[in-house]
Structure 1
Amino acid sequence: MRVNEQIRISPVRVINAEGGMLGVMPTNKALEAAREVGMDLVEVAPNERPPVCKIIDFGKFKYTQKKRLSKQKQHQVQIKEIRVRPKTGDHDIEVKVKRAREFLEAKDKVLVNVLFRGRELAHIDEGRRVMEEVLQALEEVGKLEKNPSMEGRRMTAILAPRS
């Protein structure tokens, strides 16, 4: 982005501070017009023929551009985790599902863990039922990214937010 004396090409198409077209004029004449109103001549479209320059306050222009870029920052996706056990009660599962739904609506991924302790490993089918119940409840807000699988004493699945 070129400002004032950095603009080398002549002639340039000039737009005033209100957005009105002043027309095509030599660069030194455009600089004079900018100085008369106490502003800067900024090249906004250098690839056009002739290049387009605008008479604006350059400091204010940079500030608004910086502000616009900060608003466009992307959401940093995190993996949130919910843990349940094969003997977890229905109401407790509903609470965990509600929390997971909030995570998915905030565009975060959810790791669903079913933890097994001691003799619970003999009843993996009960843990699978709990996992399916959670996944079914979150079906409309999340899509399955990793199918449920056993990893040692835990069964895990990953849900990603629906676009």
Structure 2
Amino acid sequence: MRDGLDPGQSGRRGEEPSPSEVDPHRPGEDAIRPPFDRTEREKTQRVNDQIRISPVRVVGADGAQLGVIPTSKALELAREADMDLVEVAPNERPPVCKIMDFGKFKYEQKKRTTKQKQHQVQVKEIRVRPKTGDEDIRVKVKKARDFLEHKDKVLVNVLFRGREMAHIEEGRRVLDEVITALEDVAKIEKPPAMEGRRMTAIVAPR
């Protein structure tokens, strides 16, 4: 026996252990590690100078459509009204922003959250015609907005009668006008489609 080695040990120093001597329960370099648990960062709503993209579609504090304008101009309008410019539909192109009191909006949003758990979503209906005038459309939009703010869905129904079936594009124009006016509070759940003598679409609360 040399150098104090036990009889059962290899006679050469530094010799790699045989596979049978490796502990099978000890993880090696090739062991598969469990996936790292990452928590998704909470998404925040962009407000004022956080809105970098330009131009944007702007909705006034009173719900009026102000059109597509440069973001710098939209911020100027918000400051003149002593309010905030809030991005409400970031996935639209261009994004939709609304002039509002953001602090008040967040407070009311928090209050509504507790009520949503008890609220059963219903599908409300508004009806228009291909020749519905601008004033009547505004009334219908206001009614639809009330439904959406109560977290109900809205079925927009364009009714065609007689020869109006020859002018389907007029009905589509009215339907698109209603949907556009609700962009800041609604998203399209069912795109416009003809169903017999009517054209329908469903919008849901954002």
Question: TM-score band (shorter)?
Answer: 0.5 to 0.7
Higher strand residue share: 1
Query: In the alignment, is residue 161 of structure 1 matched against residue 199 of structure 2?
Result: no
Equivalent residue for 1:87, pick from 104, 126, 131: 131
Higher relative contact order (CA 8 A, sep 6+): 1
Structure 2 equivalent of residue 15 of structure 1? none
Deviations 1:49-80 (A, max 9, x none): xxxxxxxxxxxxxxxxxxxxxx8852011000
User: 1:126 Cα shift?
Assistant: 0.4
Query: In the alignment, is residue 104 of structure 1 matched against residue 148 of structure 2?
Result: yes
Task: Provide the alpha-carbon RMSD of the alignment.
Answer: 1.3
2: CA distance between counterparts of 1:111 and 1:98? Answer: 14
Give unmatched runs, 5+ long, in structure 2: 1-114
Residue 123 of structure 2 contacts residue 155 of structure 2 at CA under 8 Å; is this kept in 1?
A: yes
Alignment map for 1:123-134 (pairs within 5 Å): 123-134=167-178
Deviations 1:118-139 (A, max 9, x none): 0000000000000000000001
Give unmatched runs, 5+ long, in structure 1: 1-70
Structure 2 equivalent of residue 76 of structure 1? 120
TM-score (norm 2): 0.44
Percentage identity across paired residues of the two chains: 80
Amino acid at match of 1:154: R
Deviations 1:2-52 (A, max 9, x none): xxxxxxxxxxxxxxxxxxxxxxxxxxxxxxxxxxxxxxxxxxxxxxxxxxx
Residue 116 of structure 2 contacts residue 151 of structure 2 at CA under 8 Å; is this kept in 1?
A: no
TM-score (norm 1): 0.55
